[in-house]
Structure 1
Amino acid sequence: MPKPVIAIFDVGKTNKKLFLIDEEYHIVYERSARFVETLDEDGEPCENLESLISSVHDSLHQVQKMQEFDIKAINFSTYGASFVYLDEKGKPLTPLYNYLKAYPEELSAAFYAKYGGEEKIAQETASPILGSLNSGLQLYRLKKEKPEVFEKVKYALHLPQYLSYLITGKALADITSIGCHTHLWDFTKNQYHRWVIEEGLAEKLGEFTPADSSLETNYEGISYKVGVGLHDSSAALIPYLANFSTPFVLLSTGTWCISLNPFNQQPLTAEELKQDCLCYMHFKGKAVKASRIFAGYEHEQQLKRIADHFDRAAYLFKHLKFNPGLFLKLAAKVPENQEPQLKFSTVSAFSERDLNLFRTAEEAYHQLIYDLVKQQIYSLKLILNPGVTRIFVDGGFGKNAIYMHLLAISIPHIEVYASSVSQATAIGTALAINEAWNKNPIPTDIIELKYYSSIQRTV
C-alpha cells in the first residue's frame, strides 16, 4: 500500500531540494538540484528562473510516478526578498532579480523623503534600511525605472507564492513573505504600509491568504492540497512552535546568527533598528522579534587566521573540546574576560587581537569563541523579554562544544540547549498545513535536544 506523504520544495540560493515527508515526519525521499546563475539585463548575476520552473514540474512528474508513495499535499519554502513579476497570462516579465543587487541611491533618497524618512519607515515596517533586501523597494524601482514593464504587471509574487502559483494558478500573498524586512507591512497598524497603497502596489501582490491554509488543486488529473508557500526563515521556526509552548528564543546559527523570539511583540525602537534588529512574521501572523550578527562568517575568517598563524589545519578545530582550565587562564592574558563589557559591534573584539598573545592555537580558539559569545549575548539581550526560559541553538555553533559551554556560562539564568531538526525548513513547511493532509497528531520527537546542565556550566 502506498505511503501517504507531502511533497515539499525547499529552494535555497544554492541548493533546490524536493522532499517527500511521511505522516511521522520522516524524510523518505530527497532530490537535489543546482543551477548555474544567469545574468539580468544589467549583467548582474540572478536566479535562473527558467531552470527553476522546469525543475519544479520535472521533479513533481518524477515523484508522481513512484508507486510506493501517495502524495497528499504540496508546499513550498524559499529564500525571501525576491519577486516574480507576471503579466495577464501568468508569464514572467523580467529576470528574477538578485536581492543583493545594489539599490540606486537617488531613488532610495527620493522614496524616504516622500514617505517620512528612513527612521520612520524602518520603525513602522520593523526593518532596517537594507536596499534591495527590502523587497518592496524592488517593486517601487520597477515602477519608477521601467514604467512600461510595470504597467504590464498583473501580479508581483514573492518566490514561495510564485512556486505555489505554478501548481494552483492562484496568485496569493502570505504574511511570512510580506512581513519579513520588505517595507511592505506596517507593523504598527497590521496592514499594508501607506506607501504601498498610494503607489498602487497592493492589488498586484495577490490575494492575502493565511500561511497555514491550502487549496484543493487538480494538477495533471491528480488532486492535491497545495499550500501558499512560506519564507524559509519563518518555516524553520515552526517545528519549535509546534513542540514548545513555554517561551523560548531560537538562535539559528550559520553565516548569520539570527536570534528569533516569537514571544516578543514589542515594537522595535530606533536604537534597536540601528543595531540590526528586525521583525519576522511567523505563520500564524504574529511578529517575531529578531536580532542578528555576522558571526558565522567572522568565525570562518578568524579561524583561518589562527590556523595560518599556528600552522594548523582549520578542520582540526572542529574536534576541540571545552577546556575550562585553559579558559580561566585566559583571564590573566585578556583582562576584559573577567568583567566583559558588552556593546554593539559589527565584528567581535578578536579581529583586533594580536595572536602572539596566545601560546597555543587551542588557547587562541577559546578566546575567539568567547569573543563571539560576548557579541552574541549582546545581540540576544536586544530581543529577550521576561518569561523566556530556554534558548535553542541550531546550526553550526550548536555542534561546537566550546561555544555551547561558554554560552551557557554567560547566561546562567536561562536553560541552553543545542538543538537539531533534520531539514527544519522542509519539516516546518509541512507542519504549516499538517491538518490538510495528515490525520495523525504532530510527533513530539521531531527536535533533538542536548541540554547544557548546571554542572557543565560550572567553571
Structure 2
Amino acid sequence: MNRQPVIAILDVGKTNKKLFLIDEGYNIVAEYAQQLAEVTDEDGFPCEDLPKLQQLLGDFLQQIIQLTDYDVKAVNVSAYGASFVYINAAGEPVFPLYNYLKPYNADLQQQFYNAYGGEVAFSRSAASPVLGNLNSGMQLYRLKYEQPERFAQVQYALHLPQYLAYAISKVPVSEMTSIGCHTNLWNFDTQTYQQWVAEEGMSEKLPAIVPSDAVYTCQVQSHTLACGVGLHDSSAALIPYLACEQEPFVLLSTGTWCIALNPFNASPLTDEQLQHDCLCYLSYQGKPVKASRLFAGHFHEQEAKRIAAHFGEADDFYKHIKPDEYLLEALRQRVTPATYEVLNDVSVAAFAHRELSLFATATEAYHQLMLDMVAQQVHALQFVLRGSEPVSKLFVDGGFSNNPLFMQLLAKAYPHVQVYASQVAQASAIGAALAIHTHWNTQPIPHNLLKLTHYDH
C-alpha cells in the first residue's frame, strides 16, 4: 500500500494546541486539536502547563507515526512568541513557562533602560515599544536579578518554538523569527545582538543562531524524520504570501488585534511610530518586517454589543447587514468624521465617542461604526506604508476578510492598490511547512496557495 507523503506541523497557540498533517500540495489532510488548562507560576500568575504541553507533543507524534495512510517525512513547529523555556545541562526546564502578560517590576525595568541608553534610543534600535515581559529578553534580565541562584542553573534559554523543536531533535538552537519578535535582544541597526546581551552574560545562554529553514535528522519510534527548528507564528503566517507574491504587498492580519505587516519597508522606526504601537519583526529570511497594531477586533466586539443593546438586537445582528452605499454617503454628509486626535488613539474605538441617539437604526449605527473603524485602520496602515517601496496589493486575512462592509470601505480608501480578501487555511502551519519545503516535498510550491477575492474601489 502506498502511503501519502506528509509533513506534521505542531501549531501552538495560547488557547489551542493543534497538529496538522499537510500533503505535498499543501492541503491539510488531518488535524488533531486539544486545549490545555493553565496552571500558575510561583507568584500565582496564570501560565502554560509545560509538562502537559510536552506530553501532548509526545502523544501527537506517537499517533501520527502509527498511521497507516500517511508517510510522515518531516515535522516543524509554529508557536506563539515572547516566551522562553529555560533548560539545564540535562535538558530539563528550570523555570515555569512564564506568561508574557505578567506585570514587569517597574524599578527593574527602569534600571535596565537607564543602563542601556534610555527608553527612546533603545526602543528605536530594538524596533519595539516598551512592553515589559512581552519584550521576552526582559524575562532573562528579570530572572538574573530576581532569582540569580536558579538562573545560574540555566544552560540555554530557548524561545517556545525552538524548545518544542528541541524536544524532538534534541538540538538547541536560536532562530531569527523568534529573536526578532519584539524581544529587546536584537539590534536592528547593527543586525547583531544588543550590547546588553553580552554585558549581562546572556550570550552563553543563547544557542547558536541557525537559518529558519534548517533541519536536523531525528528518530521518533525508529522512524527517521527531518525536524525543523520552529518559527514564531506571526512570521510563519507571512510565508505563504512571500512564497506566492513577487510584487510588494502589505498583509493585514485581522482578529482581536489587526496587525499590518509590510515586508518591503526597511526604513527605521521613528519615535512617532514607536509611540503608536509600531514595531518590527524579522521574516524567516532575516529581513525586517515593519508592523502596526490596532485593537480593532476588540473594538468591533465591544461597540457592536453596545449597538445591539441600544436597539434591542441580537449580538450578532451585523452578520446579516449588507453594504448600503446610499446610507454610507448620507452618513458621510451628516456625521462629523473622527478627528485626527481620536484616530491617533490606538487604545480606544473612534466610534466609542459617538452617542447612539444620533442614529435611527442598528444598521445605520453599524455603518458608522465601520466608517470609523476603517478610518482608524487606514491611519494605522499609514505607519507601515510610509517610507516603503510602492505597494501594489493589500491582502486581508482573518475575521474582517469575511466582512463585506469592512472590505468595501478599505478598498475605497486605497483606489490605487489592489485589495483582496484572502483565505489561507491555517497560515502559520502552512508557513512552517513551506519554510522547510525542499527537505520533505518532491513537488513545486503550488501557485494557488492563496484563495483571493478582489474588492473593487
Name the CA distance, whole Å, in 1 between partners of 2:357 and 2:343. 25
Name the CA distance, whole Å, in 2 between partners of 1:155 and 1:220. 26
Shift of residue 410, structure 1, vs aligned partner: 1.2
Name the CA distance, whole Å, in 2 between partners of 1:327 and 1:172. 53
**What is aligned with 1:446?**
449
Contact 2:77 2:165 in 1 (8 A): yes
Please point out which of 394, 400, 411 is paired with 2:403. 400
- Counterpart AA for 1:345: D
Q: Secondary structure at the match of 1:110?
A: helix
Name the CA distance, whole Å, in 2 between partners of 1:142 and 1:349. 40
**What is aligned with 2:198?**
197
What does the per-residue CA deviation read over 1:174-203, in whole Å, with 9 as the maximum and x for residues that have no partner?
000001100000000001000011111122
Contact 1:100 1:132 in 2 (8 A): yes
What does the per-residue CA deviation read over 1:63-119, in whole Å, with 9 as the maximum and x for residues that have no partner?
110011000000001000000000110000111100000000000000000111001
Q: Secondary structure at the match of 2:307?
A: helix
What does 1:68-83 correspond to in 2, within 5 Å? 68-83=69-84
What does 1:282-301 correspond to in 2, within 5 Å? 282-301=283-302
Stretches of structure 2 that go unaligned for 5 or more consecutive residues are none
Contact 2:175 2:210 in 1 (8 A): yes
**What is aligned with 2:116?**
115
**What is aligned with 1:357?**
358
Name the CA distance, whole Å, in 2 between partners of 1:93 and 1:6. 31
- Counterpart AA for 2:192: Q
Contact 1:340 1:374 in 2 (8 A): no
**What is aligned with 1:411?**
414
Name the CA distance, whole Å, in 2 between partners of 1:75 and 1:260. 23
Shift of residue 60, structure 1, vs aligned partner: 0.4
Contact 1:342 1:378 in 2 (8 A): no
Please point out which of 426, 434, 443 is paired with 1:431. 434
- Counterpart AA for 2:370: I
Name the CA distance, whole Å, in 2 between partners of 1:237 and 1:275. 22
Stretches of structure 1 that go unaligned for 5 or more consecutive residues are none
Contact 1:176 1:282 in 2 (8 A): yes
Q: Secondary structure at the match of 1:252?
A: strand
**What is aligned with 2:272?**
271
Name the CA distance, whole Å, in 1 between partners of 2:375 and 2:229. 39
Shift of residue 120, structure 1, vs aligned partner: 1.1
Contact 1:158 1:177 in 2 (8 A): yes
Contact 1:211 1:283 in 2 (8 A): yes
Contact 1:405 1:452 in 2 (8 A): yes
Name the CA distance, whole Å, in 1 between partners of 2:153 and 2:183. 22
**What is aligned with 2:103?**
102
Name the CA distance, whole Å, in 2 between partners of 1:355 and 1:387. 39
Name the CA distance, whole Å, in 2 between partners of 1:180 and 1:112. 19
Contact 2:120 2:271 in 1 (8 A): yes
Q: Secondary structure at the match of 2:256?
A: coil
- Counterpart AA for 2:185: L
Which of 216-225 and 242-251 deviates more? 216-225
- Counterpart AA for 1:409: K
- Counterpart AA for 2:244: N
Name the CA distance, whole Å, in 1 between partners of 2:350 and 2:58. 49
Name the CA distance, whole Å, in 2 between partners of 1:96 and 1:403. 38
Name the CA distance, whole Å, in 2 between partners of 1:96 and 1:53. 12
Q: Secondary structure at the match of 1:109?
A: helix
Q: Secondary structure at the match of 1:197?
A: helix
Q: Secondary structure at the match of 1:235?
A: helix
Q: Secondary structure at the match of 1:25?
A: coil
Which of 342-351 and 63-72 deviates more? 342-351
Name the CA distance, whole Å, in 2 between partners of 1:179 and 1:216. 26
Shift of residue 316, structure 1, vs aligned partner: 2.3
Please point out which of 413, 421, 425 is paired with 1:422. 425
Question: 1:340–1:191: structure 2 CA closer, same or farther, 3 Å change rule?
Answer: closer
Shift of residue 343, structure 1, vs aligned partner: 4.1
Q: Secondary structure at the match of 2:304?
A: helix
Name the CA distance, whole Å, in 1 between partners of 2:148 and 2:39. 24
Name the CA distance, whole Å, in 2 between partners of 1:262 and 1:43. 39
Q: Secondary structure at the match of 1:440?
A: coil
Contact 1:2 1:70 in 2 (8 A): yes
Name the CA distance, whole Å, in 1 between partners of 2:332 and 2:240. 39
Contact 1:185 1:192 in 2 (8 A): yes
- Counterpart AA for 1:138: Q
Q: Secondary structure at the match of 1:189?
A: coil
**What is aligned with 2:312?**
311
TM-score (norm 1): 0.97
Q: Secondary structure at the match of 1:215?
A: strand
Question: 1:183–1:341: structure 2 CA closer, same or farther, 3 Å change rule?
Answer: closer
Q: CA RMSD in A?
A: 1.2
Contact 2:39 2:46 in 1 (8 A): yes
What does the per-residue CA deviation read over 1:153-175, in whole Å, with 9 as the maximum and x for residues that have no partner?
00000000000110111110000
Q: Secondary structure at the match of 2:345?
A: coil
What does 1:27-42 correspond to in 2, within 5 Å? 27-42=28-43
**What is aligned with 1:169?**
170
- Counterpart AA for 2:443: N
**What is aligned with 1:250?**
251
Q: Secondary structure at the match of 2:344?
A: coil
Aligned length: 453
**What is aligned with 1:216?**
217
Contact 1:280 1:288 in 2 (8 A): yes
